[in-house]
Chain A
Amino acid sequence: MAGDVTTDPVTLEEAPPPEETSEAAAMAARLAEAGRVKRLNDRTRMIIAYVVLTLFVVIAIGPAFYLISPAFRDSVSLFTYPPEWIPSEPTLENYRFLFSSTSYVRWAINTLVFAGATTLLTLVTNTMAGYAFARLRFPGRNLLFFVILATLMVPVAAVLAPTYLTVTTIGDWPIIGNWIDTDTYLGLILPSAVSPLGVFMMRQFIQTLPDGLYEAARLDGAGEWRIFTKIVLPLIKPALVVLGIFVFMLTWASYLWPLVAATDNEFRVLTVGIASLKGQFVTDWGILAAASLLTIVPVTIVFLFFQKWFVQASMAGALKQ
């Protein structure tokens, strides 16, 4: 298998070829000679490196900035040539339209409810389950954990139809069907709170807390719930923040499930709503730009304040494992 090809890092120490080291003296002379040229080279190289990096930064953030101009002008003026970079008649018409003639505000509220509730639910269920897997001994623990872990990367699309059927089936039941159905908040939220990533993360994190704390608390008369709330939760706050950001970012950006589960405008979220602004045949580009810009700005502001946490959260999915 491919894995066998990998070199053990331990053997790396032998990597530099030994035949060159024997000529250390000759090498030193050559180095000294080349010294002046090399320094110049280093400088040019550094400049090129920073130019390249800056180029990629421009590519990364450029598209967002390029939204500003169309967001504040009449869509028709987009089609003039030569292009008009800075709007000659800046207007808030796009935003007026967005707030008066579309349900942008409704979508935004729905998104906050959807992502917020999913995050909260995920944090509660995953931390509790992580605690059970980390601290409690019960028969079948490892098997159950393995089965749950196997579903770590199950795509939404792969279970889209049966999940949809589950939700509509529950929707047909009396009473509970009023709460869980397509075009309900819970119908959106519950299937979005299934990923076991947090269970896994929390288990790892809780396992790192010293055993003595649990034992001391137990002898102090504290039951599992009290240990969980008074000892464990305060000590894993950083992990909770990281997981919370991760889940929130993932949920509010999600598209496929909300697209299918919330067709009623009253329950649409921003991603689905903004995508629906792009008409089948005619699109008002100015409004599309205005809506996108308005949506990105608050996230960016939050991000700039808490960037360390964000980066940690995005890595949590891949590296923390």
Chain B
Amino acid sequence: MAEVILRQLTKHFGSVEAVEDVTLRIPDGEFLVLLGPSGCGKSTILRLIAGLEDATRGEILIDGELINFKDPTKRNVAMVFQNYALYPHMTVYKNVAFPLETARMAREEVAEAVQRAAEMLEIEALLKRLPEQLSGGQRQRVALARAIVRQPLVFLMDEPLSNLDAQLRLQTRLELMGLHERLGITTIYVTHDQVEAMTMGQRIAVMQDGRIQQMGDPTEVYDAPANTFVATFLGAPPMNLVSGSLERDNGQVSFRFEGYELAVDPATSGIAPDTLDEAVGEAQLGVRPEHLTLASPDAEGLPGVVRFLEPVGSDLFVSVNVAGHAVQVRMPPDTQVSTGSNVRLAFDPARSHIFGADSQNLRS
């Protein structure tokens, strides 16, 4: 168990900047999720911590000790790989026992530890099998058992669920959370799946182009996205964004697009007056589908025409055409609305976001 600190961590592959100046602290026992699209550098961070890659610059500390120049064999971190990387010629028992035997542990102790790990992951019945005789989910469990068996300081998980089918993924997700709760080992979990990130992470670090875009607990990141990338990457369907401009008229700032005008009040929008003044110019307005409501054509709000209806059982997603922009609205499933009908869109300004010309959220 340990605290992990990254200081200005940077990794270049030739001219490719895989990780750029990442600084973060992961307190002991935390479950941190690195979230981002493929190629954003999240896996590279994991590999840097594990020692499978050498950092170009920057420091990595585990429990206050600088480990940059420590061989991966001695870092005492465990990693679960996307394809599990089980040793194909060893039985499940041998696979799980391998790290312990490597550490020259006495045979009885090894047997005991393997037994304990196997019980925890319910793979006792598989111990004599070879990896090729296991299903994907079983291999996943063996990989986890091999990782936990020697009680590492840090757990690194590189998209461990991506090779499982949807049902199994859901189940394993819960089990992973249970496992973390029981063991309390600091865990860094890499995924591109925002649902995984939201449900599992105590904190989420959203990454793009090798940099951390935002870090915080899931609700914070979801409710107050730092920029348009985070706003659209989290949430399905993503936050609606429309481009327009912030303009100032008689001391009153308003957001204009396609001939519509929305007054932006510092008090209700939560944006500091100074920030608002500075941001005059190009801007984007963002509202999440669940924060929009459909109203009758004669009510207040932006006028639009319903284009598509997507009932998903628990919700009804309505795609509304507002001045050429497709806007997604989430409504209760029993909402009475038909395609082609005229509607108005209403939303609470406090739950809308305005992003400046640099794509940053003005509220922060």
Asked if chains A and B are in direct contact (CB within 8 A), the reply is yes
Within the assembled complex, what's the spacing in Å between the Cα atoms of A234 and B76?
Answer: 26
Residues of A within 8 A of B76 (CB): 221
- Name the CB-closest residue of B to A221: B102
The answer to whether B89 has its CB under 8 Å from any CB of chain A is: yes
The answer to whether B50 has its CB under 8 Å from any CB of chain A is: yes
B91 to chain A, nearest CB (A): 12
- Name the CB-closest residue of B to A230: B98
B102 touches A222 (CB 8 A): yes
A235 touches B52 (CB 8 A): no
The answer to whether A96 has its CB under 8 Å from any CB of chain B is: no
B89 touches A219 (CB 8 A): no
B98 touches A217 (CB 8 A): yes
B102 touches A216 (CB 8 A): no
Chain A interface size, as a band, is 10 to 19
Residue among A217, A234, A235 with most chain B CB within 10 A: A217
A188 to chain B, nearest CB (A): 36
B99 touches A221 (CB 8 A): yes
**Partner-binding segment picked from A140-148, A207-215, A270-278, A311-319:** A207-215
**Partner-binding segment picked from B10-18, B79-87, B320-328:** B79-87
A221 touches B146 (CB 8 A): no
Number of residues from B at the complex interface, CB < 8 A: 25
- A211-239 contacts to B, CB under 8 A, are 212-213, 215-223, 226, 230-231, 234-235
**Contacts A218-B73, A220-B98 given: A213-B79 contact, CB under 8 Å?**
no
The answer to whether B78 has its CB under 8 Å from any CB of chain A is: yes
A221 touches B89 (CB 8 A): no
B73 touches A235 (CB 8 A): no
The answer to whether B77 has its CB under 8 Å from any CB of chain A is: yes
Residues of B within 8 A of A219 (CB): 50-52, 72-73, 75, 77-79
A213 touches B85 (CB 8 A): yes
The answer to whether B333 has its CB under 8 Å from any CB of chain A is: no
A223 to chain B, nearest CB (A): 6
What are the interface flags for B83-97 relative to A under an 8 Å C-beta threshold, 1 for contact and 0 otherwise?
111111100000000
B83 touches A221 (CB 8 A): no
B89 touches A220 (CB 8 A): no
A139 to chain B, nearest CB (A): 14
The answer to whether B103 has its CB under 8 Å from any CB of chain A is: yes
Query: Per a CB cutoff under 8 Å, which of A212, A221, A230, A231 touches B73?
Result: A221
Residues of B within 8 A of A216 (CB): 79, 81, 85-87, 146
A218 touches B88 (CB 8 A): no
Residues of B within 8 A of A221 (CB): 73-74, 76, 99, 102-103, 150
- Name the CB-closest residue of A to B149: A220
Within the assembled complex, what's the spacing in Å between the Cα atoms of A226 and B103?
Answer: 11
A246 to chain B, nearest CB (A): 23
Q: Which residues of B contact A (CB under 8 A)?
A: 50-52, 72-79, 81, 83-89, 98-99, 102-103, 146, 150
List 13 extra interface pairs beyond A213-B88, A219-B75, A222-B98, CB under 8 A.
A210-B83, A210-B85, A212-B85, A213-B85, A215-B79, A215-B81, A216-B81, A216-B85, A217-B98, A219-B72, A220-B98, A221-B102, A235-B88
Closest 9 CB pairs of A and B: A212-B85, A220-B99, A216-B85, A221-B102, A234-B89, A218-B72, A222-B102, A221-B73, A219-B79
